[in-house]
Amino acid sequence: MGQNLAVTVIDGIKFCDMAVKLDEIDLLLLSELQADADRTNVELARLTGLSPAATLHRVRSLKESGVIRIIRAHVDPAAAGFPLQVYVTATLARHDPRSTAVFERHVREMPQVIAADSIAGENDYLLSIVARDIPELHQVLASLATRGGTRLMTFLRLAELKPPAPLPLGTTRVAAGGPRHTRRHGAAREAAD
């Protein structure tokens, strides 16, 4: 199923409208799957009040539309043997399409780079990198430098202050005066009380 996004460009920044209209049941399913992606279809059906077949159809539609990109386990890097976790900002030496493509392809192929974003500002990229030890980290940084990365600034991650959080799908909005609570769904309402 293809996505038809309406794109608006303001001051060179692209803004996309939602490709899929989400109703309250979709939002509830997304919230519950973000909280625990290991929930069974029967549990989700019970939470939504839908039949298991209808719930399965909804989840499949959310996957096919691209709203749910992937469901995976969140593995603790240190517990899995990667005690070094660093953030690296990188700037390209050259900003032509070929140099950009070479650097980005290399970043995608490196297993130690567990997340990478193209960013605006002084730097071109923000990378999240894991390594087993200092020599492995050194090899990763040297490899980035040989593919066009310059001004590689490394920031050692000391502690996780907030784990990756679910999207705030309609539970709260922050206004100028602070948080404004909106209507909450089933389990989220009970957990807040």
Look at residues 50, 72, 94 and tell me which one is the last residue of a structural domain: 72
User: Is 168 inside any structural domain?
Assistant: no
Q: Structurally, how many domains does the chain consist of? A: 2
Residue 130 belongs to what H/E stretch? strand 125-131
**φ, ψ of residue 18 in degrees (nearest 5):** -60, 135
The dihedral through the CA atoms of 26, 31, 34, 39 has a sign that is negative
- The answer to whether 56 and 101 have CB atoms below 8 angstroms apart is no
Is the model's pLDDT at 189 over the cut of 50?
A: no
Instruction: Tell me the residue range of the domain where 96 lies.
Output: 84-156
106 with 68, same domain: the answer is no
The DSSP output letter for 166 is -
Check residue 42 and give its pLDDT: 95
**Residue 62 and residue 38 share a domain:** yes
pLDDT (average), residues 41-52: 94
pLDDT class for 21, splitting at 50, 70, 90? Answer: confident
Positive or negative: CA dihedral 141, 142, 146, 150: positive
- Can you tell me the distance from the alpha carbon of 11 to that of 13, in angstroms, rounded to the nearest whole number? 6
Q: Judging by DSSP bridges, how do beta strands 178-181 and 172-175 pair with one another?
A: antiparallel
Show the tokens assigned to 168.
């705030």
pLDDT of residue 174: 55
User: Quick check: 25 pLDDT over 80?
Assistant: yes
pLDDT at 84 over 70: yes
Is the pLDDT assigned to residue 38 strictly greater than 50?
Answer: yes
Q: Which of 51-60, 133-142, 144-153, 161-170 has the lowest mean pLDDT?
A: 161-170
Residue 39 one-letter amino acid: R
Average pLDDT, the chain: 84
Give the pLDDT band (50/70/90) at residue 75: confident
Q: Identify the CATH number of the domain in which residue 40 sits.
A: 1.10.10.10
As a whole-number percent, the residues of the chain with pLDDT over 90 amount to 60
Question: Would you state the pLDDT for residue 164?
Answer: 83
Residues 45 and 93 in one domain: no
Under the banding of pLDDT at 50, 70 and 90, the label for residue 187 is very low
